[in-house]
Structure 1
């Protein structure tokens, strides 16, 4: 069975590369000015006024907050956030959302140290957000205090929430924490999953134009889900390989080393490349409000996530998890939706969101702990752990490259599945934690020195890539799925830096 929709052709982008390139210097200058000036500008706002981003660009249905004298940028941020989630923070009143397609149903914002950029984004957006989730990564004290204050201000509502885990658990894990929450919601409340960095600036009207298209593209897949649920309920069946029948290859609960989609049936999992590429042909997967594939601010449809699965958490601590997801979407036949009309005024992504180097390059105040986190994370990323994993994955599972014929020539894992190689991930996490501790203790250590220290520590341990194993054996522990364990229990306590 091949799934098709009746779909009409939605907006597509094209061209404009030269014009965008010519505009980039001016766009970057504008972005820098915005980030530098916004906090000070907000602090000077008087009792009877609002930021221009709210007074001139708000959707007509947005509920305005009572005019009260702000005490600084944080209060103005709270006002902007309240406008986004349609809550009066002073009276703890939740206002109903308009029954329209101009709101974000669910958005996740992974955060580390970028408080000024969080303020900028909330005051730049002009549409309602029905559910907003911040996932804190890195446990930097200044961000912890910031988010605690946010939750104290909005303790009466569930429209904004904070998710946390100890330490730096990686960007893919941050997305997956929110994604599991998203997938618990009814389809009508969660037709697409929006992901964003905080260091983006959108031109006025971009989201108002994109969101109705996103809803239309996502709803095309609703009826397919019921058929998939019924089919997966019959597994294991004649399509299930013998090696996966006694311990089925299905896990979505974050308790096991194995992570799979919920609804990609074995019938499609083990098809040839040519057959599998027709499985969801015509359906939309990745959604972009711009004419470019800018994955600092994008969404994925519910159908695509239910069958493609989760972001690969072996891409630790960041990078390649999005390109891995896109490759899997394409291999199932999903296409991208890009909204044209923004070639001359595209969305601006200021700098890499996972490194947040802008905070230092723009001379914004950064705590000692945040500086150490930035420097340590930069060193980890320069060691290319994610890139090394992505390369090894392509060599083993044989489906990253579209010229390959099947997803299961080597380790047998279908494209919606991955195994968390926990000893490798925990070793990298341990390296980063100890490096950051050293950088807090001695802020004079330069970035090049930190990178050399990290390379020496990994050499002493042995190349962490040796910890990549055959997933078809590692996913199980005898007759059951292998459970994840705490890193502290898995690895010995040991000093890694001399």
Structure 2
């Protein structure tokens, strides 16, 4: 998502959290100043095509003719991006990556309106990135223009790509789109999956120190995957509950309401919680480049993803999908890798919804579409749809509480599976889209008013949480898996805001 990136979770880590809190005011000021100063600092003349969005966003007093060779932060951003993916953008040539463990194999960056922070991050990183994927969540024109210009500059290479859908399909879905692509790659090319927000700044050499540890931790799981492949191929078998034998609980293709891991076998799925917590004991799951469990910039090993599954897309539009993933990792016995040595100079994340504050502090003009998107998405977040779903899930699913969970094979999905309750997700999406349209038409609507409008519309519709169903029945449609359908076909066309 765009601003409160879900869960950006800080778990206790000795004195690290205390130091982080104590440093936060200074870190925030430093981050804002860095992003403010960066555009001017990076200016240089090159021949790249400047996207209109940044012409107005970062250089509002500059008038560029269509044929004028532009200068400014976007051109420097292209140079930084080229350095990260190890290409020469002027000659359109790719250079081979060094044969070392100091490169990110695959990274996904969900984006909405944060172009200045995208520039800041790419010029702050110092390591190579073998595959970089931007996922555009929503269709704010300024971001569309920005990404179109990026792809025009790098159309000759597959090392940077853009995935997009028109609507705001949620942070978990954005991650899953890239994750499915990642899991198609051979293990040697994709041993761990890196996820990042753009509002992050790293101290020098942090990634150079972390990445060799990430590779070592991830490669330990390679041989296990081969054994799991062979075991899952025998299912359904004696470990499969009778009610799941005719329509097996296995779906990874994004076409069905059911979403599961590819390789968690039924033998482990239906073990007691105590047994299950030993299944992958000793293996690493979540990877952090400093000593804090901070999911603004983190990775998960290939083994962990193959058995834990995808991010729960019912955590819509954002929040809780990372905490849900981490909980599932722990319930399977995976441990976290944290890199020590950065306790006094940790990674800086403009956390807690402060991307809006940062944009205001920078005094950057935003298009009316971008302002409406921020205001409308903020209102949706304030209705706590994800928190309500997470609460319902933990009341009804057998594995939610890692210390008190009891095995109950008569109720609930196994921990690697979830069912997308599409009518609920589509209803929230429809609320957000129509609210944003209203905010574009009338920019004078305040944030408190937008939240009240949303509350009124939700009351007219009825509590959307009533659309949470029993996944063990909903996942199937007779003798087949239930297919997802287009939201426009699922919901009536109806004005929700009058």
Q: Report how far residue 2 of structure 1 moved.
A: 40
Q: Report how far residue 153 of structure 1 moved.
A: 0.1
Change (3 A) 1:380 1:26: same
Q: Which moved more, 1:391-400 or 1:310-319?
A: 391-400
2:390 and 2:279 map into 1 onto residues whose CA distance is 25
Q: Report how far residue 68 of structure 1 moved.
A: 15
1:496 and 1:53 map into 2 onto residues whose CA distance is 30
1:408-439 deviation line (CA, Å, top 9, x unaligned): 45633000000000000000000000000000
Q: Report how far residue 18 of structure 1 moved.
A: 3.3
Q: Which moved more, 1:403-412 or 1:247-256?
A: 403-412
1:166-193 deviation line (CA, Å, top 9, x unaligned): 2100000000000000000000000000
CA RMSD of aligned residues (A): 7.1
Q: Report how far residue 375 of structure 1 moved.
A: 0.2
Contact 1:247 1:481 in 2 (8 A): yes
| 3-state SS of paired residue (1:135) | strand
Contact 1:57 1:126 in 2 (8 A): no
1:260-296 deviation line (CA, Å, top 9, x unaligned): 0000000000000000000000000000001000100
Change (3 A) 1:482 1:205: same
Q: Report how far residue 28 of structure 1 moved.
A: 1.2
Change (3 A) 1:178 1:134: same
1:128 and 1:65 map into 2 onto residues whose CA distance is 34
Contact 1:407 1:413 in 2 (8 A): no
Q: Report how far residue 45 of structure 1 moved.
A: 7.7
Q: Report how far residue 81 of structure 1 moved.
A: 0.1
Change (3 A) 1:231 1:118: same
Gaps of 5+ in 2: none
Residues 1:406 and 2:375 aligned together? no
Contact 2:458 2:464 in 1 (8 A): yes
Change (3 A) 1:278 1:7: farther
Q: Which moved more, 1:355-364 or 1:343-352?
A: 355-364
Contact 2:137 2:164 in 1 (8 A): yes
Q: Report how far residue 29 of structure 1 moved.
A: 1.1
Change (3 A) 1:313 1:365: same
1:166 and 1:51 map into 2 onto residues whose CA distance is 19
Contact 2:5 2:197 in 1 (8 A): no
Give the TM-score taking structure 2 as reference length.
0.92
Change (3 A) 1:63 1:86: farther
1:117 and 1:2 map into 2 onto residues whose CA distance is 11
Q: Report how far residue 43 of structure 1 moved.
A: 2.2
2:99 and 2:317 map into 1 onto residues whose CA distance is 39
Change (3 A) 1:492 1:61: closer
Contact 2:32 2:361 in 1 (8 A): no
Change (3 A) 1:356 1:221: farther
Q: Which moved more, 1:59-68 or 1:102-111?
A: 59-68
Change (3 A) 1:408 1:77: farther
Partner residue in 1 for 2:17: 17
Q: Which moved more, 1:33-42 or 1:349-358?
A: 349-358
Change (3 A) 1:238 1:57: farther
Contact 1:351 1:357 in 2 (8 A): no
Change (3 A) 1:64 1:130: farther
| 3-state SS of paired residue (2:243) | helix
Change (3 A) 1:67 1:275: farther
Change (3 A) 1:496 1:14: same
1:200 and 1:52 map into 2 onto residues whose CA distance is 25
| 3-state SS of paired residue (2:57) | coil
| 3-state SS of paired residue (1:355) | helix
Partner residue in 1 for 2:30: 30
Q: Which moved more, 1:375-384 or 1:52-61?
A: 52-61
Q: Which moved more, 1:60-69 or 1:352-361?
A: 60-69
Contact 1:228 1:265 in 2 (8 A): yes
Change (3 A) 1:328 1:57: farther
Q: Which moved more, 1:403-412 or 1:358-367?
A: 403-412
Q: Report how far residue 65 of structure 1 moved.
A: 26
Q: Which moved more, 1:351-360 or 1:432-441?
A: 351-360
Q: Report how far residue 27 of structure 1 moved.
A: 1.2
Q: Report how far residue 20 of structure 1 moved.
A: 2.8
Q: Report how far residue 37 of structure 1 moved.
A: 1.2
Contact 2:9 2:323 in 1 (8 A): no
Give the TM-score taking structure 1 as reference length.
0.92
| 3-state SS of paired residue (2:286) | strand
Contact 2:7 2:295 in 1 (8 A): no
1:314-356 deviation line (CA, Å, top 9, x unaligned): 0000000000000000000000000000011000001357965
1:4 and 1:247 map into 2 onto residues whose CA distance is 38
Change (3 A) 1:167 1:297: same
Contact 1:197 1:353 in 2 (8 A): no
1:293-314 deviation line (CA, Å, top 9, x unaligned): 0100000000000000000000
Contact 1:36 1:364 in 2 (8 A): no
2:491 and 2:8 map into 1 onto residues whose CA distance is 54
Q: Report how far residue 358 of structure 1 moved.
A: 2.6
Q: Report how far residue 24 of structure 1 moved.
A: 1.9
Q: Report how far residue 61 of structure 1 moved.
A: 38
How many residues end up aligned between the 2 structures?
498
Contact 1:201 1:348 in 2 (8 A): yes
Q: Report how far residue 401 of structure 1 moved.
A: 1.2
Partner residue in 1 for 2:125: 125
Residues 1:265 and 2:265 aligned together? yes
| 3-state SS of paired residue (1:77) | helix
2:12 and 2:379 map into 1 onto residues whose CA distance is 39
